[in-house]
Chains A and B, each alone.
Chain A
Amino acid sequence: MTTTGAVVVATSASSGTMTDRALRERLVSASVALVTALTTAASWWTVAGELAPPPPPRPLVAAADPLAALRPAPAPRRRVVVVRRSRAS
Chain B
Amino acid sequence: MSTCAFRAMGTDWWVSSDGPGVGEVAGWVSEIERSLSRFIGGSSLCRLNADRIVADGRVAEVTRVALALRQLTDGAFDPCLGATLAALGYDRSFEQIGVAQPRRVVSELRVEIERDVVALRGSGALDLGGIAKGWAVDHVHDRLVRAGGRRVLVDGGGDMRGSGAPWPIGVGVDRAILLADGGVATSSAAHRAWSTPSGARMHHIVDPGTGEPARNNVVTAVVCAPTAALADGLATALVARPDRVLGRLQGLGVSALIEDEQGRWWSTDGWQEAA
By a beta-carbon cutoff of 8 Å, the part of chain A in contact with chain B is 63-67, 69-74, 76-77, 79-89
Q: In the complex, A70→B247 CA distance in Å?
A: 10
Q: If A72-B264, A72-B266, A77-B275 touch, does A83 touch B153 (CB 8 Å cutoff)? A: yes
Residues in chain A near residue B268, CB distance under 8 A: 70
Complex A-B: 6 CB contacts under 8 Å:
A71-B266, A84-B153, A85-B158, A86-B185, A89-B10, A89-B157
Q: What does DSSP make chain A's interface, helix, strand, loop or mixed?
A: loop
Residues in chain A near residue B78, CB distance under 8 A: none
Least Cβ distance of A19 to chain B in Å?
A: 68
Of the candidates A79, A86, A87, A89, the one having the most CB atoms from chain B within 10 angstroms of its own CB is A86
Interface size on B, residues (CB 8 A): 50
Q: Is the CB of B153 within 8 A of A73?
A: no
Q: Is the CB of A84 within 8 A of B169?
A: yes
Q: If A65-B217, A66-B242, A72-B264 touch, does A88 touch B191 (CB 8 Å cutoff)? A: yes
Q: Is the CB of A86 within 8 A of B170?
A: yes
Q: Is the CB of A86 within 8 A of B158?
A: yes
Of the candidates A63, A65, A70, A89, the one having the most CB atoms from chain B within 10 angstroms of its own CB is A89
Q: Is the CB of B171 within 8 A of A86?
A: yes
Residues in chain B near residue A82, CB distance under 8 A: 168-170, 176
Q: If A65-B217, A88-B158 touch, does A72 touch B275 (CB 8 Å cutoff)? A: no
Least Cβ distance of B171 to chain A in Å?
A: 5
Of the candidates B153, B159, B170, the one having the most CB atoms from chain A within 10 angstroms of its own CB is B170
